[in-house]
Amino acid sequence: MKVALLGGSGFVGTRLLEKWLLSGSHDVRVVVRSPGSLARMARFALPEWEQADVFDAASLSRAIEGCDTMVHAIVGDADQIATAAQAALEACRSAGVRRLVYLSSASVHGQNPPPGTNDLSPLRDDQPAEYNNAKVRAERLLRDASGVEVCILRPGIVYGPRSQWFSGLPRALRSRQAFLVEGGQGICNHIYVDNLVHAIELGLVHPRATEGPFYVADDAALSWREFYRPVVQALGFDVSDFQVVPAAPPRPPTLRDRVMRVNRGRASQLLMPMFSRRLKDAVKAGLDRYSAAAVPNGFVLPQPGAPAADWEISQLHTCATRLPMDRAVEILGYAPPLGTTEALDRSARWLAGMWGTAAPADPTASTDGRTARA
């Protein structure tokens, strides 16, 4: 099977590429937006790669010709998610790629879904988090598709070596900026990256994979406090070293949020084709500039204040619902290859090996962690 991989430079995509190239289980063609995206993948002998505009169906179609399937693992912002999904669908249809495995997110239900939520619960695209709404809209688009087999997977918190959930911990612990909202007693709906890779592999070949969406997770769900415990202990700390912070309320919508909401209305959809791409790009750039945070004074050293959570992290850390993966188990035969205990132990050993048994002495030392979502 020849698989086109979008998002190969990201956390999940890098692990997919690593496993498949080292095992020889699939022929992989990596599709990137620019050659610079190949930097992280350069340690592998890439057999094939193509450059394409992943938001343009025609460009993407040319890049994936001859592939049997596609894995869509792109991490984008709320404005890009639905556009990228639409382009991928049209490109697969045009190039004759028979199946698309799309990585959605458990956050389509919100970061703290109500009790009883499952794969078939109705979705809303008026949530406070625009990322959630964008994933909902992308799923709706893909579920109504024809001419391409679509498998939708919904992982929750994806973790493992190089994960952004762990890579910034040493600095945060050392500088006393690591925190848990209300003590981190909420449920962490997590999945180890290799378990997600296993689910993707099922999505590529299973005859009933189009009956999704499927929530996929580890064999056991821990509280956030339990989730972090083995990792911080491997660094020579304890969960008692986390600061306990209160939950934050939802952020009020910004001007950019309000404009984007109007833009998705039916009237705007009819009018927008009348305006040039240059004008639309200029308006978007102006909104980005207007909404940007103030530039700090370059002559004053930043002083870390007390840690504080935003609304999304607050919802995650206080989550009261463990999402069920019954349908993935019953329909796909999904069974996590790696147990939660071993998965966290691997993550802890990796992080301890990177930093030693204690956090770095310099609290300003950089890490490779960046804010990202599954």
What single letter denotes the amino acid at residue 218?
Answer: D
Q: What pLDDT was estimated at residue 303?
A: 62
Whether 363 has a pLDDT exceeding 50, the answer reads: no
Question: Domain check: are 157 and 275 in the same one?
Answer: no
* Together in a domain, 287 and 327: no
Distance CA 79, CA 279 (A): 17
Give dist(CA 336, CA 197) in Å, integer.
10
Mean pLDDT of the chain: 87
Check whether residue 200 and residue 263 sit in a common domain.
no
Does 146 fall in a domain?
A: yes
Asked if 52 and 136 sit in the same domain, the reply is yes
Q: pLDDT category, 28, cuts 50, 70, 90?
A: very high
Question: Quick one: pLDDT at residue 365?
Answer: 38
| Residue 366 pLDDT exceeds 60 | no
CB-CB contact of 221 with 322 (8 Å): yes
How far is Cα 143 from Cα 156, in angstroms, rounded to an integer?
20
CB within 8 Å of 298: residues ≥ 6 apart: none
CA distances to 116, 193, 215 from 324, in Å: 9, 18, 7
Percent of the chain scoring above 70 in pLDDT: 83
Who has greater pLDDT, 333 or 24?
Answer: 333
**Pair 160, 198 in one domain:** yes
Which has the closest alpha carbon to 92: 3, 20, 26? Answer: 3
Bond prior to 213 in cis (omega within 30° of 0): yes
**Whole domain around residue 282: which residue ranges?**
255-291
Do 97 and 137 sit in the same domain of this protein?
yes
CA separation, residue 49 to residues 1, 31, 35, 174 (Å): 16, 6, 9, 41
Q: Are residues 216 and 283 in the same domain?
A: no
Is 361 a residue whose pLDDT tops 60? no
- In a shared domain, residues 286 and 200: no
What integer pLDDT is reported at residue 56 of this predicted model? Answer: 94
* Strand segments (E) across the chain: 2-6, 27-32, 48-51, 69-72, 99-103, 149-155, 157-159, 179-181, 187-188, 190-192, 214-216, 222-223, 243-245
Burial class of 115 by CB neighbour count within 10 A (0 to 12, 13 to 18, 19+): exposed
Q: Is residue 105 part of a domain?
A: yes
Local structure of residue 26 (DSSP, 8 states): S
99 located within any domain = yes
**pLDDT tens for each residue of 165-202:** 998 999 999 999 999 999 999 999 999 999 999 999 99
pLDDT in tens, 211-243: 989 999 999 999 999 999 999 999 999 999 999
- Joined tokens for residue 100: 């698309």
- Nearest 5°: phi and psi at 178? -70, 135
**Number of structural domains the chain divides into:** 2
With a cut of 70, say whether residue 299 has pLDDT above it: no
> Does residue 140 sit within a domain?
yes
H or E stretch covering 208: none
Same structural domain, 94 and 132: yes
> Do 214 and 70 have their domain in common?
yes
Position 151 confidence tier, pLDDT thresholds 50, 70, 90: very high
For 187, phi then psi, to 5°, come to -85, 135
- Is 246 contained in some domain? no
pTM of the shown model: 0.84
Is 373 part of a structural domain of the chain? no
- The pLDDT assigned to 116 comes to 95
Decide if 362 is inside a domain. no
Contacts of 166 (CB under 8 A, 6+ apart): 159, 231, 347, 351, 369
Residue 194 is predicted with a pLDDT of 97
User: If DSSP codes are grouped into helix, strand and coil, which group holds residue 49?
Assistant: strand
Tens digits of residue pLDDT in 59-116? 999 999 999 999 999 987 888 899 999 999 999 999 999 999 999 999 999 999 999 9
66 and 208 share one domain: yes
**Per the domain annotation, does 177 fall within a domain?**
no
Retrieve residue 315's tokens.
């919802």
Say if residue 24 is in the same domain as residue 116. yes
